[in-house]
Amino acid sequence: LISHRQDSILHSRTMSQARVLNVDTMNPNVKRIEYAVRGPIVQRAVQIEKELKEGVKKPFTEVIKANIGDAHAMGQKPITFFRQVIALCAYPDLLEDDKFPEDAKNRARRILQACGGGSLGAYSASSGIEVIRQDVAKYIEKRDSGIPSNPDDIYLSTGASDAIVTMLKLLTSGEGKTRTGVMISIPQYPLYSAALAELAAVQISYYLDEDKCWSLDVNELRRAVKAAREHCNPRALCIINPGNPTGQVQNRQCIEDVIRFAAEEHLFLMADEVYQDNVYMEGCQFHSFKKVLFEMGSEYSSVVELASFHSTSKCYMGECGFRGGYMEVINMDPDVKLQLTKLVSVQLCPSIPGQALLDLVVNPPQPDEPSYATFIKERTANLHILSEKAKMTEQVLNTVPGIHCNPVQGAMYTFPRLTLPEKAINAEQAPDMFYCMKLLEEMGICLVPGSGFGQRDGTYHFRMTILPATEKLKIVLEKIREFHKRFTEEFS
Amino acid sequence: LISHRQDSILHSRTMSQARVLNVDTMNPNVKRIEYAVRGPIVQRAVQIEKELKEGVKKPFTEVIKANIGDAHAMGQKPITFFRQVIALCAYPDLLEDDKFPEDAKNRARRILQACGGGSLGAYSASSGIEVIRQDVAKYIEKRDSGIPSNPDDIYLSTGASDAIVTMLKLLTSGEGKTRTGVMISIPQYPLYSAALAELAAVQISYYLDEDKCWSLDVNELRRAVKAAREHCNPRALCIINPGNPTGQVQNRQCIEDVIRFAAEEHLFLMADEVYQDNVYMEGCQFHSFKKVLFEMGSEYSSVVELASFHSTSKCYMGECGFRGGYMEVINMDPDVKLQLTKLVSVQLCPSIPGQALLDLVVNPPQPDEPSYATFIKERTANLHILSEKAKMTEQVLNTVPGIHCNPVQGAMYTFPRLTLPEKAINAEQAPDMFYCMKLLEEMGICLVPGSGFGQRDGTYHFRMTILPATEKLKIVLEKIREFHKRFTEEFS
Ligand SMILES: Cc1ncc(COP(=O)(O)O)c(C=O)c1O
Ligand SMILES: Cc1ncc(COP(=O)(O)O)c(C=O)c1O
């Protein structure tokens, strides 16, 4: 019997070794990817939710997820006009229905006319539907006080993620010391490190200055690029503004400095501006890299290569599930643009409902249209609530001894610094992972440890979204306060 | 003056050389990609359409595009039920509307309940919404006569393209002689060669047998893999069934042979089955690789690793624009599955409208539901028309001297062989590119040259979809007949 059992263990072992695809034979670049926003904490949270459903007793009755920038999942309602138009496009019989406002019908007709066969079900051009690219260009022109935007520079995408990965892919070449290096902020949004790992490009980390509200210091960029030139070929600089996970909003001066730095150091600029409407703090304002670049004069605007990214997922609409987005490329080599068009052709086209939704974001109801008032009301309310939650988050967290929280100037996150007791730091896990896992188990609150985004050695953070509904956010903040106190006592 | 002009030429040259990103510095793997389905012919077709609109006189009044498998663009209408449910999901106020049938409302409610915050606008789990993965598993079980399918083996995707590229990515590793080689048919769907170029994996070509209705001969697989083992590490075998661009449907025996071959040669199987409903020829039937594998007994079903792919884009629904799809993985190493889940997490999730549409495809109206009759009528009509067009295409093309067309057993394409006159072959362009470009300029018909899919040296083909509406398809076929005759005379 024993021998039979051993046999079968042996057999199953041989089997597993014999697999064509196993962890030893698979793509090593994929293995190197780390992705915390959906990592072990989140997986455990999903498990706990199932356990709660099955009646397992816990010190809480629901898991509150503040781990991901997903507004609708947290209860934010869609913009009525947007969804009316999508419904009309999906089922054009509704164009006969009196319940829909005329402006929604007009938008739907216009989108459908631009679709193959008048259907959301046709593939579009790979760079996106032409009319929508034109609308995007107009939106950018208006946003940037009239600085021209060319529809031929616009590429629609499957969320901003898709366009960001595509740009990084184009930029990656060389081997060894000539391998492409890409500068990304620390803390960062982990899409960047993941894409660089997958492409086997070199990540060049520059640190944001926590003591100055997570601002970007050009001297730190200089330090980082200089060190990197020893072992790779730095070719691109990525900026997230407003910032994820750190919630800062860059001032104009800083953007100018960054552009000058990119020109001096001959770097391709990638500006991730998916939070462009999410600015809460008085005195802060969103400045697009494109606009600042052009206002700096042709010395810069005719040479600095820039790709900027936007998405339907954030701002006031939060339509993550539609996977809409675009990038605008400035000063891109025309031959590279042909290559880019070819590259995106391989996967045919971005989702058409996503493209349609993006069209509504860049071309919302106008003052003379029937849906205008409701649209403005909904948009204002969403942004106002976010702004209140940003302030509340900062205020409450800063009342907790051992937590320091910078102002949430924009975006949807805070990245507060934790003073952790020594015994917690000697634990086997990363200390902030240990902290967040315990917070989840004891309080039912799901955050992401700072180590998932990068932080200076010896500092500890978590990232938390400000998205839970106000009443829930209050509970989250109170529970964190209580937990932090207990945790500090337990491990001191 | 001259010196000033020279100066500025010099300046602009320096500028273009000075770009960070240019064709010399960009990713060389991207440069190597070829993608004919949207290549020069299609770009010229778009241009000609613009010229026609501007009033330029041509020997035709519209361009008929038979270059891409895009049913809605060619006039096929969406399935009513599918679009009703999507509209209900997009704008749930419509759930109060009496005009919608109860089954559509029930499906919409069920999908929304499975969405974060009850909204299509929330991100889902990266592998897709759980309820939908369960529905996919049930669909597969039913399709495969009860052979079990596990929702944990299902990964939803952004069209089949996305999942295919993801699988190829996982499989790629090694350098030089140990670099992953992937077997693909010639002719092939160019997504495969493009993805392999991008990944710098080795393409191993096996030829389909044109003289036997484009069937697959295992001896040819043996020849190809043996030759490849000299210079790379063959690890995967891709099959498209029903076939694009060749329209063949594999018989059961052939699938068994392929599975045995994969087991012997230790290859991971990738079965692209996006045309699984598109079988037209009497005596032909779709057999899924999964089903045949399991019917071959545990000797095979417990060891052969298989990923199979499906999509919302083809079959009777043709919903390309929604970018819905899934893959099922069989015998995949559990650790690799974790890596796969991590990898797909980086881009957050597939489009939710696409996931919703996929759910309807795998869970359509049932006999006791109010929408059943209409659904069946629409589905049957779509498939019937495709079947008629398949027959008509074969028949008419085979009446043209110098064109030989295999039966269109399935899928949406024919790949007829052209006998070209000698002077056309001596042209500077690839002869079938020359042929198709001339056909476009003179007749306004847009096809893709065979060279874009691969073909045996010295043979020439084009790929044509059977999707234009019947009346248009007749025109297309007549025009090809006329053109081929003239072309043959002109270049003889
Ligand atoms: C900074 C930043 N960039 C890009 C993205 C990608 O968003 P999406 O792909 O949904 O547009 C996110 C999402 O959270 C983000 O925070
Ligand atoms: C054989 C085959 N596989 C995959 C695809 C990809 O389709 P999608 O990404 O739209 O699902 C196509 C599209 O034409 C195809 O023909």
Residue B362 has pLDDT above 90, yes or no: yes
Mean pLDDT of A403-421: 95
Residue B40: the pLDDT is 84
Mean pLDDT of A45-62: 94
Residue B5: the pLDDT is 46
pTM: 0.94
Residue B429: the pLDDT is 83
Ligand 2 mean position, distance from CA B161 (Å): 6
Pocket lining: B301 vs ligand 2, CB cutoff 6 Å = no
A203 vs A179: CA distance, rounded Å: 11
Q: What is the pLDDT of residues A421-433, one digit of tens each?
A: 988 887 678 899 9
List the structure tokens of A73.
Answer: 């999942």
Residue B326 has pLDDT above 80, yes or no: yes
A160 vs A313: CA distance, rounded Å: 8
Residues A123/B70, Cβ–Cβ less than 8 Å? yes
Q: What is the pLDDT of residues B365-412, one digit of tens each?
A: 999 999 999 999 999 999 999 999 999 999 999 999 999 999 999 999
- pLDDT classification of A291: cutoffs 50, 70, 90: very high
B429 vs B178: CA distance, rounded Å: 36
- Burial environment of residue A272 by CB neighbours within 10 A (0 to 12, 13 to 18, 19 or more): buried
Q: What is the DSSP string of A265-314?
A: HT-EEEEE-TTTT-B-STT-----HHHHHHHT-HHHHTT--EEEEEESSS
Give me the percent of chain A exceeding a pLDDT of 70: 96
- pLDDT classification of A10: cutoffs 50, 70, 90: very low
- pLDDT classification of A27: cutoffs 50, 70, 90: very high
Out of A123, A162, A345, A348, give the residue to mutate to test ligand 2, the one with the largest number of ligand atoms within 8 Å of its CB.
A348
- Burial environment of residue A173 by CB neighbours within 10 A (0 to 12, 13 to 18, 19 or more): buried
Whether residue A90 and residue B76 make contact (CB cut-off 8 A), yes or no, is no
Residue A2: the pLDDT is 43
Q: What is the pLDDT of residues A124-150, one digit of tens each?
A: 999 999 999 999 999 999 999 999 999
Q: What is the pLDDT of residues B38-55, one digit of tens each?
A: 778 988 999 999 999 999
- What's phi and psi for A201, nearest 5 deg? -90, 165
- pLDDT classification of A268: cutoffs 50, 70, 90: very high
- pLDDT classification of A40: cutoffs 50, 70, 90: confident
Residue B19: the pLDDT is 95
- pLDDT classification of A3: cutoffs 50, 70, 90: very low
The number of beta carbons lying within 10 Å of the beta carbon of residue A435 is: 25
Residues B346/A38, Cβ–Cβ less than 8 Å? no
A386 vs B125: CA distance, rounded Å: 24
Mean pLDDT of A259-279: 97
Residues B435/B449, Cβ–Cβ less than 8 Å? yes
Residues B327/B157, Cβ–Cβ less than 8 Å? yes
Give the largest Cα separation in chain A, rounded.
Answer: 84
Residue B15 has pLDDT above 80, yes or no: no
Find, among B361, B252, B271, B352, the residue nearest to B309 by Cα. Answer: B271
Residue B2 has pLDDT above 50, yes or no: no
Residue A264: the pLDDT is 95
Q: What is the DSSP string of B369-406?
A: STTHHHHHHHHHHHHHHHHHHHHHHHHHHHTSTTEE--
Q: How far is B94 from chain A (nearest CA, A)?
A: 9
Residue B446: the pLDDT is 95
The number of beta carbons lying within 10 Å of the beta carbon of residue B342 is: 18
Mapped onto helix, strand or coil, the DSSP state of residue B95 is: helix
The mean predicted confidence, pLDDT, of chain B is 94
- pLDDT classification of A43: cutoffs 50, 70, 90: confident
Residue B177: the pLDDT is 96
Residue A401 has pLDDT above 80, yes or no: yes
Alpha helices in A172-322 (DSSP H): 191-199, 218-228, 252-265, 289-295, 298-301
Mean pLDDT of A371-395: 97
Pocket lining: B69 vs ligand 2, CB cutoff 6 Å = yes
Selecting from A18, A76, A84 the residue whose C-beta is nearest the C-beta of B91 gives A84
Q: What is the pLDDT of residues A184-237, one digit of tens each?
A: 999 999 999 999 999 999 999 999 999 999 999 999 999 999 999 999 999 999
Residue A9 has pLDDT above 80, yes or no: no
Structural domains in chain B, CATH included, are: 19-74+378-491 (3.90.1150.10), 107-362 (3.40.640.10)
Which is more confident, A476 or B9?
A476
Q: What is the pLDDT of residues B229-249, one digit of tens each?
A: 999 999 999 999 999 999 999
Name the residue with the closest Cα to ligand 1, atom 16.
A244
Q: What is the pLDDT of residues B157-177, one digit of tens each?
A: 999 999 999 999 999 999 999
Give me the percent of chain B exceeding a pLDDT of 70: 96
Q: Name every chain A residue with its beta carbon within 8 A of the beta carbon of B173.
A: 25-28
Single-letter amino acid, residue B197: A
Beta-ladder partners of A270: A238, A307
Whether residue B346 and residue A35 make contact (CB cut-off 8 A), yes or no, is yes
Q: What is the pLDDT of residues B200-231, one digit of tens each?
A: 999 999 999 999 999 999 999 999 999 999 99
Q: How far is A457 from chain B (nearest CA, A)?
A: 25
Mean pLDDT of B454-467: 94
